[in-house]
Amino acid sequence: MNTREKLEKNKMENKIPAKDRIIAWPRMGRIDIPLKALVISLGAKVVIPPANSNKALEIGVKNSIEGICLPYKLNLANYIQALDKGANTLMMFQAPGSCRLGNYTKMAQKTLKSMGYEFDMVIFDMYQSKMKQTLQAFWHVTHCLNPWKYYKGFSLGFNKFFAIDTAEKLLFYTRPREINKGDAEKCYEKWLKITDETNSVLKAKKLKKQIIEDFKKIPIDKNKEVPVVYLIGEFFVLLDPYTNQNIEKELGEMGVEVQRQIMFSDWLEHVLKPSLFYHRESHRERSVRYAEKYMKRAIGGECIETIGDTVYAAKHGVDGIIHISPFSCMPEIVAQNILPKVSREEDIPVMSLVIDEQTGKAGYITRIEAFIDLVKRKKRKKLKDNVNLLSK
Amino acid sequence: MPKQIGIPRAISYYNNYPFYYGFFKSLGIEVILSDKTTAKTINDGSKYVVSDTCLPVKVYVGHVVNLLNKGCNTIFIPSIQSTGYKINNCSKVRGLPEIIRNILPQNFTMIEPTLDKTENINLKDFCRQTANAFNINDEQKIKMAIDNGFKVYNSFTEMTRAGVSYKEALDNAINGKTVKKTIDIVKPISVAIMAHGYNLFDERISLNMIKKLEKMNVKVYTSLNVSFEDAIKSIDEIGEVQYWANEPELTGTAAYYLLNKKVDGIIALSAFGCGPDSLMADEIYYHCKERKVPFIHLTIDEHSGEAGFVTRIEAFIDMLLRKKRNAIIKRVDINRKSAAQVITINKEKVLTSSVK
């Protein structure tokens, strides 16, 4: 058996009969809501591990090697917590050929087996239009043959992804501008709950509109001077609020509008839709285009997206960039090396934050505050210059 | 103006220099090497990159700076993306030209060919890109240069596989000579080192580890002693799947010696913060535990104090010696008879051979 075949075989284990399967997957932000909807529609049972927390991190650190990156430690902890809660099938996607992510599942499988757990691991590749493989993985897990159920599951899942991302974007916009503090947050939490409870396709399709309308009702101060900051960096750290210490909320409360270019639904659409039906310029293509001056080739991970987004931001009047990455993340270290030059040449302030298990929140907040002060000062100066120009 | 190219003495130099040398020589391009790594090289490199970057990349930047200071204005910085379908290198090695381009303020020409087998850019294209940068477009000439490159490279690997040390093999291969392996003296302890070539054969980065071990009367096996095919086969046999481009050098070497039981222990040497190494060392640690072979993972960074490093190696070797001695004593005690027989048999053998 050659290596490739072995790899393929390891991907989809099949020891537990489909009807006994209880499925779990690692946590990353709120992806549990749409995925739950999808898997339950296919008729399988689901265990959701508790959200990432200090406890999860402790479990992860204890059971993984020292040199591995933070996302793996949390993923492993999620698996352990899910298995303890009764799960017996673990799902995970991977994108081989990028960075250490391609090795996560292999390692987790080995570690968990040496810890004495018994389970099936189902792994599927996710890069450019892998709808077939994804469907296969879900078929493998559930053995569901009813196409209507697939339609229902996937459209529920997708609509929920879009709904959550819409709510998140509106939350980022509203939070710094709201007049009664906490309104936007409450609205967001409410809609997350509603999204989670929705289980008909028709209702799910309406979610997005309803969310937009509801957010419009929150009283906001439209004339407030709000600097816009882009969050860029590593995928997992950006999407998981525990890992990034809820930087979006901190920034929002400081009166800064956060924008994030990496949105789960965008990525998912780009990855799953066959290229025939995908007409827009994807985020990655756009990044490659913008990063051209600094990078001539993609080097794995989200490095080129980071650089491309920074240039894009500078050209579209964004006031500052915060770059977050986990400690020892290889692609992001390359990005960190390139960013100072981009910042200098495109005239945009950039701050890099590296996150590891020990990041103290106080020091982190101080750095963000100092950076935001800088951004605000710079913005004010720019406005003044513009006024002077006009009066001349 | 004579054509010349500067090659930094770091990263891919340690694996591919014989090839590069033969290739450029055949094209009529003069090769300028940077000086050997010193503390100054590391300091020069560290000045330009962020602190999280690993030591080999810092050293690489230092070497590029060294070449620029020497007045060499054309520098060869290849981007070796993948060496097989979805078998990639570490991001930092893949992005070397991107890093260098964006951190050094000096003006210079960068020759940055890409090798990416996932995207079907193979070695031939890699060489063509390099030659085209010098306005050499003659296919025949390029083909001959590749052949010449492989000639030097093959004689180099042939020598190292036979047991000639890295430095000696490199010098001889470049001068077009082939030397035979010196007589092998049997040593009480042998270890295999799994490390990237650029960590192990750089005397400053590895703190001259091979020499230190040899001084302790230890036989050292490195990735140079294992052929590529053997390494790939060993990875398969031990039950791993190749994921990194450097895996034959590390996992492959360690697996090869684990499987044929030639060594008493395995030493992993990696730079602090190295992504692929953290995983590969862990894989091998797992197999070592299963086979009860001692394993030590040494991490180096730019501050590596030599004393602490030596102490750890010494302790490890002492432990190996004690283990081996105990094993022999145990065997002798239990089967005193059979042990005596073995000795007599050996004697006879010695006698017969000397008689002949």
Is B30 an 8 Å CB contact of chain A?
no
What is the pLDDT, as a whole number, of residue A291?
A: 92
Query: Which amino acid is residue A286, in one-letter code?
Result: R
Q: Which of B91, B112, B229 to mutate to test the interface with A (most CBs of A within 10 A)?
A: B91
- Mean pLDDT over B170-199 rounds to 87
Task: Give the ipTM of the model, two decimals please.
Answer: 0.87
Same domain, A201 and A111: no
| Chain A CB contacts of B243 below 8 Å | 96, 102-103, 106
Same domain, A115 and A195: no
- Mean pLDDT over B248-253 rounds to 92
| Chain A CB contacts of B278 below 8 Å | 65-68, 328
Residue of A nearest to B94 (CA): A299
Same domain, A163 and A113: no
Lowest mean pLDDT among A67-81, A125-139, A180-194, B271-285: A125-139
A110/B50 Cβ within 8 A = no
Which CATH number belongs to the domain containing residue A312 in this structure? 3.40.50.11900
What is the pLDDT, as a whole number, of residue B59?
A: 94
Chain A to chain B, count of Cβ pairs less than 8 Å apart? Answer: 116
What is the pLDDT, as a whole number, of residue A9?
A: 65
pTM as predicted = 0.89
| Least Cα separation, residue B12 to chain A (angstroms) | 17
Same domain, A123 and A212: no
Which CATH number belongs to the domain containing residue A31 in this structure? 3.40.50
What is the pLDDT, as a whole number, of residue B353?
A: 39
B344 pLDDT above the threshold of 80: no
Same domain, A208 and A277: no
What is the pLDDT, as a whole number, of residue B316?
A: 95
Same domain, A86 and A183: no
Is A253 inside a domain boundary?
Answer: yes
What is the pLDDT, as a whole number, of residue B356?
A: 36
Same domain, A382 and A234: yes
What is the pLDDT, as a whole number, of residue B111?
A: 92
With a CB-CB cutoff of 8 Å, which residues 302-331 of chain A face chain B? Answer: 303, 327-331
B184 pLDDT above the threshold of 60: yes
Could you give the strand order of the β-sheet that contains B218-221, starting from the edge strand earlier in sequence?
B218-221, B189-194, B265-271, B295-300
Residue B210's nearest CA partner among B232, B228, B193 is: B193
Tens digit of pLDDT for each residue in B191-250?
999 999 999 999 889 989 999 999 999 999 999 999 999 999 999 999 888 888 888 999
Residue of A nearest to B115 (CA): A297
Q: Which of B77, B269, B278, B298 to mutate to test the interface with A (most CBs of A within 10 A)?
A: B278
Same domain, A31 and A113: yes
Same domain, A238 and A381: yes
**What distance, in Å, lies between the first and last C-alpha atoms of chain B?**
65
A295/B50 Cβ within 8 A = no
| Least Cα separation, residue A287 to chain B (angstroms) | 15
| Least Cα separation, residue B252 to chain A (angstroms) | 14
Is A151 inside a domain boundary?
Answer: no
A341 pLDDT above the threshold of 90: yes
- Mean pLDDT over A238-267 rounds to 87
Same domain, A306 and A386: yes
| Least Cα separation, residue A117 to chain B (angstroms) | 17
Candidates B49, B94, B118; nearest CB to A299: B94
Is A219 an 8 Å CB contact of chain B?
no
Same domain, A195 and A235: no
Taking the C-alpha atoms of residue A206 and residue A204, their distance in angstroms, rounded to an integer, is 5
What is the pLDDT, as a whole number, of residue B348?
A: 47
Candidates A100, A337, A352; nearest CB to B53: A337
Is B275 an 8 Å CB contact of chain A?
yes
Lowest mean pLDDT among A10-24, A280-294, B1-15: A10-24
Is A199 inside a domain boundary?
Answer: yes
| Chain A CB contacts of B242 below 8 Å | 3
Q: Which of A299, A324, A343 to mutate to test the interface with B (most CBs of B within 10 A)?
A: A299
Residue of A nearest to B80 (CA): A299
Is A8 inside a domain boundary?
Answer: no
The total domain count for chain A is 3
Tens digit of pLDDT for each residue in A164-223?
999 999 999 999 999 998 899 999 999 999 999 988 888 989 999 999 999 999 999 988
Which residue segment(s) compose the domain that A209 sits in? 159-174+177-221
B1 pLDDT above the threshold of 60: no
The share of chain B scoring above pLDDT 90, in percent, equals 58
Same domain, A238 and A387: yes
The share of chain A scoring above pLDDT 90, in percent, equals 38
Q: Which of B46, B54, B87, B94 to mutate to test the interface with A (most CBs of A within 10 A)?
A: B94
B5 pLDDT above the threshold of 80: yes
Is A152 inside a domain boundary?
Answer: no
Q: What is the mean pLDDT of chain B?
A: 87
B41 pLDDT above the threshold of 60: yes
With a CB-CB cutoff of 8 Å, which residues 149-208 of chain A face chain B? Answer: none
B82/A97 Cβ within 8 A = yes
| Chain A CB contacts of B118 below 8 Å | 97
Is B106 an 8 Å CB contact of chain A?
no
Q: Domains in chain B and their CATH numbers?
A: 4-173 (no CATH), 183-334 (3.40.50.11900)
- Mean pLDDT over A130-147 rounds to 80
Residue B162 binned pLDDT confidence (cut-offs 50, 70, 90) = confident
Is A185 inside a domain boundary?
Answer: yes
Is A5 inside a domain boundary?
Answer: no
Is A65 an 8 Å CB contact of chain B?
yes
